[in-house]
Amino acid sequence: MTTIHVAGAAPYDVEVGHGVVERLADLVGDVRRVALVHAPGTTVPLPGYDVLDLEVPDGEAAKTAAVVADCWERLGAAGFTRSDAVVTVGGGATTDLGGFVAATWLRGVRVVHVPTSLLGMVDAAVGGKTGIDTGAGKNLVGSFHEPAGVLCDLSYLRTLPSRELVSGLAEVVKCGFVADPEILALVEKDPSAALDPASEVLAELVERSVRVKAEVVGVDLRETGGTDRHPGREVLNYGHTLGHAVEKVSGYSLRHGEAVSVGMAYVAELARLAGMLDDETAGRHAAVLGSLGLPTSWSGASFDDLLAVMRVDKKARGATLRFVVLEGLARPVVLSDPSEELLRSAYEAVS
């Protein structure tokens, strides 16, 4: 088991390892009641607690105002107090939703996340972002509410569908390019080990990715900006500006990580064409992502359609379109409003 500390105003630990869910009671602490927000088929043992079972729909279908309102009603009917705690168990959508319920009930109660997907472990459950979707898009309503702890039990990955595991690896590779190149070296050395849920390689990849995320959010929880040398939490959006647009325009037929993979191949090309990134590092993107079975090209929509979606995405700021790009390995910077010609040429290279 490895413990990764997340610093900040409300510090907490993330435990990574096989069987760490056994530590749940230690993290939930001395409360009487637990509201267990979980996807169908995923629960955890909570002996000795009075458990309020809040089963929610699987996946993104949980992230609606109606599901939140239903949880609030059930917490109200049960007389759930500030001295009680929420536990979330499931993929990134479940921890986002359950985190939001915990953030809003009585203006915030204790929450412990038990992510069961790779995406949940390396991204969604760490860093305090919670939220739900609206008709206009994903994650448009939410808040920052840091958990009391996160348990990344790698045993859950053994039953994760392979497409989900591969999709989650896109966020792992992202951490490699923006902060920890050893992640890239580990994948390059043995991509099949990275895809093996029982391997020590995957365990190390999860630990390293959580460490990257912990360091970033420990400095810039609210994504208000980092330091002179680092753009802050926004670096976690590497590949996401185009990725979100691809995800949306594809009608969510691409998994999040698949779309982000295309988005990373795109920003690598964008940085290369802008004269910011060398050919070798740019080309390494498609090689590493491709070795894991992730897509690095996509031609499901015209560039104009994608540009229109990117302009209204929440990752744009006002009228400014922003892309996290690299000036070198682990040297992320923000590129604001590149020319349309450059944006279009980079898309031609990945479509």
- Given candidates 233, 244, 284, 285, which one binds ligand GLY under the rule CB under 6 A? 233
Taking each continuous run of H as one helix and of E as one strand, the counts in the chain are 13, 11
| H or E stretch at 119 | helix 118-119
Residue 122 is a binding residue for ligand GLY (CB under 6 A): no
Q: φ and ψ at 17, to 5 degrees?
A: 160, 170
316-345: contacts with ligand GLY (CB under 6 A): none
Q: Give the neighbor-by-neighbor strand order of the sheet with 110-115.
A: 2-6, 12-17, 149-153, 110-115, 85-90, 33-38, 50-55
Residues 6+ apart with CB under 8 A from 144: 103, 128, 129, 130, 221, 222
> 33 or 233: whose CB is closer to ligand GLY?
233
> 142 or 295: whose CB is closer to ligand GLY?
142
C-alpha 49/C-alpha 72 separation (Å) is 20
- Given candidates 63, 110, 129, 272, which one binds ligand GLY under the rule CB under 6 A? 129
Residue 127 is a binding residue for ligand GLY (CB under 6 A): yes
Output the six-digit token pair for 18.
């096989």
Could you give the residue numbers annotated as active site? 107, 129, 171, 213, 223, 233, 237, 240, 244, 256
The least distance separating ligand GLY from the CB of residue 60, rounded to whole angstroms, comes to: 15
> 170 or 186: whose CB is closer to ligand GLY?
170
Work out the number of other CB atoms within 10 angstroms of the CB of residue 49: 18
Residue 212 is a binding residue for ligand GLY (CB under 6 A): no
- Given candidates 166, 236, 245, 264, which one binds ligand GLY under the rule CB under 6 A? 236
Residue 221 is a binding residue for ligand GLY (CB under 6 A): no
Give the three-class secondary structure for 295. Answer: coil
Residue 179 is a binding residue for ligand GLY (CB under 6 A): no
Binding residues vs ligand GLY (CB under 6 A)? 123, 127, 129, 233, 236
